[in-house]
Amino acid sequence: MEPNPMKIEIIQPTLQDWQKVKKLRLDALKKDPQAFGASYEEEINEPDQYWQEKLEESIGKDSKEVFVVAKEQDEYVGMLGSEEANEGKWFIKAVYVKPEHRGKGIANKLLENMLSALKSRNSIKEIELKVSAEQVAAVNLYKKYGFEIMDTVDQELGDGKEHEVYLMKLKHEI
Ligand SMILES: CC(C)(COP(=O)(O)OP(=O)(O)OC[C@H]1O[C@@H](n2cnc3c(N)ncnc32)[C@H](O)[C@@H]1OP(=O)(O)O)[C@@H](O)C(=O)NCCC(=O)NCCS
């Protein structure tokens, strides 16, 4: 008989969990540098305060950021963030699921959770994101939920190389 799969919960971490968030973020930057705007080398030496303040931005019901993680037992295995860039205009960012946990629907759950969290904020008008064209799984994930490619730009990513990056926008009502 197959062992029971571990239960995955989607939660908004509290400030005291900053070390778990740091661990997952550094794992993402190390394993998939080509997928992110920042690099592992930039963030590895940041002091504790940097991580605490970063997480603090997402705490509270009127925060300018929302951050959700997938939790398996005591470990964070996936994450998805968003940030209000201008009044009512939000950007999805920092999307990552640990390689050994991929293909099990965790990103689906993270994105659905984020979209409903954003929907509960009355002021929301637009949701956009940037994704490297080479990150096929991520591009498919966003298309599945109604994001469409609006523009393509060249951008240096965390691996220090130039990549084709899509600007995608959610086309339907939130
Ligand atoms: C993109 C990523 C978060 C997907 O996480 P995941 O938990 O494996 O995704 P899910 O299992 O929830 O799949 C969600 C959808 O993504 C797409 N997808 C996932 N894996 C895919 C793959 N290997 N090939 C093509 N599409 C894929 C599908 O549309 C899928 O929908 P389905 O469940 O109806 O098949 C993960 O692959 C990842 O962390 N990639 C590296 C980092 C990255 O690219 N981040 C995006 C930065 S903008």
What CATH number is associated with residue 110?
3.40.630.30
Is 1 a residue whose pLDDT tops 60? no
* Predicted pLDDT of residue 133: 98
Task: Please give the residue range of the domain that contains residue 31.
Answer: 8-170
Q: How many domains does the chain have?
A: 1
Ligand 1 centroid distance, CA of 110 (Å): 11
> Would residue 3 count as lying in a domain?
no
Predicted structure pTM score: 0.96
Please indicate, yes or no, if residue 41 is contained in any of the structural domains: yes
Q: Is residue 67 part of a domain?
A: yes
Q: Is residue 2 part of a domain?
A: no
HEC string of 92-148? EEEEEECHHHCCCCHHHHHHHHHHHHHHCCCCCCEEEEEEECCCHHHHHHHHHCCEE
87-140 pLDDT per residue, tens: 899 999 999 999 999 999 999 999 999 999 999 887 889 999 999 999 999 999
Evaluate whether residue 1 is within a structural domain. Answer: no
Residues within a 6 A CB radius of ligand 1? 32, 35, 95-97, 102-108, 131, 135-138, 140-141, 144
> Ligand 1 centroid to 152 CA: how many Å?
20
pLDDT in tens, 14-58: 999 999 999 999 999 999 999 999 999 999 999 999 999 999 999
User: Is position 50 within any domain?
Assistant: yes
Would residue 132 count as lying in a domain? yes
